[in-house]
Structure 1
Amino acid sequence: MRDQDPSPADADRRLSTREAAELLGVKPETVYAYVSRGLLSSRRAAGGRGSTFATEEVAALARRNRREGSGSGGPGGELSVRTRLTLIDTDRYYFRGVDAVELATRYTYEEVAEWLWTGRFRPGAAFAAPEASVAVARRAVDALPEHTTPTDRLRVAAIAAATADPLRFDLSDAAVLGTARTLIPTLVAALPPVRPGHRDTGPLAHRLWARLTGRQADEAELRVLDTALALLVDHDLAASTLAVRVAASARAHAYAAVSAGLGVLEGPLHGAASGLAHKLLLEVLDRGSAAPVIAEELRAGRRVPGLGHRLYAGEDPRARALFSLLEEIPHTAPALAAARDIVATTARRTPLHANVDLALAVLTVSCAMPATAGETVFAVARTAGWIAHALEEYGERPLRMRPSGLYTGPKPPRPLPEQDTDGAERPR
């Protein structure tokens, strides 16, 4: 990072993304993350290629980062964690150094999960759930109210399954891997099937399909679902993944770590995105055009779901891979056309690409799945990534995920508070 601020002669010149990243000491992807969080403003470069940034604004943010973020472990106060699992770089991402899209489109979800966990390829990997674990998880889930969300059910199932495992506190690699291979199918089996009489056999994607829709799937549809699971296995330190690593740092067992991830996933700023994209796509299909729907979203001050990603300046590679597979299924054509209409309509003002939530919405809408289906797919898929991060964290120093608070309250010492007769605090 440069420690010098720009000279007055340079103050009026606008910076390219590369120059802004250099001044801030971050990757170009992080510059776009600052924009999405409102820490920087950008302007399209001449000719429409790339973005430019005000020199003084970038310099001010660099000064702030140096002042407040020096002890935080990362630029701008962001926590940095060393990991060997996922790298996101220039609109591509990699699992243990291998292109994640190529992995997901060539191998099954279970095989990709095994690669992420161990760095070894296990052809034909299959996950099976113990009957005792499934039984206790199903009883717990069946006792929940009818309106309970799928993420609620998955979280309850994870804790119930933990109670059936007396070895859950064994945090050795072999034990945690054993937990992973049984917990994920247990979570799927605990969800009530939509189609009566379904038998839980075959690959995990086949078993999950019966929990998402009553439609009989063909091989092309099952391939899309399996690929979606594999694409979503991990995506660096998302909020839910950080929660998992914090739990693992405290040496919580794998079931509890997964439960922590599910708790964060249920937040409206994380797991709900796919459901919002599903509803948007349905409305566009119902009204026959994206224009009035997008206009109403913007008028209400809402961000258009399914578009843009803070880690990708260009197209989300997960969306690109899923759209390619969906194009091979004839009955997805209306939803695909609606998704393209959404992208084209918003591109008149803001050139944002479709993200994986919009691609999932095309699948869920086309296959008569509920709006919560995308979140269910995401949660089941990401459980494998969460366990991979827990495995990494178990190998680190315990309780290292303990940042220091930056106290901004009143300067001590202050006198003890007193109470009036009505219980209200009054100063001495």
Structure 2
Amino acid sequence: MAAPNGRDVAVVTPWYPTRQVPFGGAFVQAMVEATSSAWRRATVFHVDRWSAGVSAPQDAEIMRSYSELLTRFSDESRTVTGAALRYVPVPVRAGVSFAEAARRQAEALRTALGGAPIDAPVVHAHVGLSGGWTALENARPDARVFVTEHATFLPSVLAEPESRTMYDEVLSRVSGFFAVGEAVRSVLVEAFPQHAERIGFMPNAISFGEPRERPVSELRRWLYVGSLSERKGVALLLDAFARCWVEDPSLSLTFVGEGALRASLATQAVQLGVADSVTFVESVTPDRALQLMREHDLLIHPSRLETFGMTIVEAVAAGTPVLATRCRGPEETLAGIEDAVGGLIDVTDDPETIVAGYRRLRGRFPQQIDLPYARSILKGRYGYEAVGRAHARAWFPPVDDASTTKPSFVAARPLE
């Protein structure tokens, strides 16, 4: 591919914070902010999938009307650090394949652009199909296209033959392809061993602003931030909290987020007799989430699977200890500083695992916890400056290397 002749960057993503979902795609927003020193102009294309259970004839009628409306619709605003934001809603019939959804998103962006290509020499997409395919189908012929894969549902994508074939094509066509961690990369390498050398690492960017004013003195105010879903282990967390509350009724637990288990968790709290000590907060903006972390004593993250674990790193950045499961992402992002930040526990179906982990942490706290040290290590790995440099090296390599099609490789954590 031709070398880029400018420092304009486009970001194509199926997720980005909106008024309705303020925390959705916060990691993409952080990436845009972290890379601001690398680009002259940046435009974020948010191809937001709207899913509905309609019949095939209804779907066809919706798409006819939608395509006509989209040609008249231009919603450009500003997002972080002055980047432009183009919002492109994409109606998608519920139940279609990931491949079909990606084709819809690519077509919608093409329509929104009036058939013209994305006017940027560098395009960086998030997730392989919804972002990557959409970017490749709309990029300039001379553009360099990069993809970062984050999705925990990646195995479901690759289980569909057509989607797997499309994903293979994405890996073949991009200038650089990155996974946020080994939990993602291992799935891709197993599925596409022929592309193993083309799949590098690119971590999520984490804001390391001011930590809390006063260090945590007691581990009484528990906090969970994330979706209220089965995969996140929230029901086990509530059960574990109730067992610890019996020993210490001064404990409290705050759930921040929304999801299918919201109502059942409220019922569970009543049944366990801890409803007065449990608070539910709807999804909030990233800034508010960080503030809540500073206002609590301990972040507990009992997920069954994470590809990175941004919330855990954000908590340490805020000066808050963490207790997290070894669910692939956290043991990688916290490598070498697990005890300094709090502790890791195994993924099990037994709430006693969380209880025992809390008791061990409480017994070690605060003498055997070193959050300032851990924070400095994580800032060097995932802070805006570090991640911004990593993207800049990939997007705008030295002139001698700019014509190569070999992707840039960036370690998700320091090489050992």
TM-score (norm: length of structure 2): 0.24
Q: Give the structure with the higher percent helix.
A: 1
Q: Which has the larger radius of gyration?
A: 1
TM-score by length of 1: 0.23
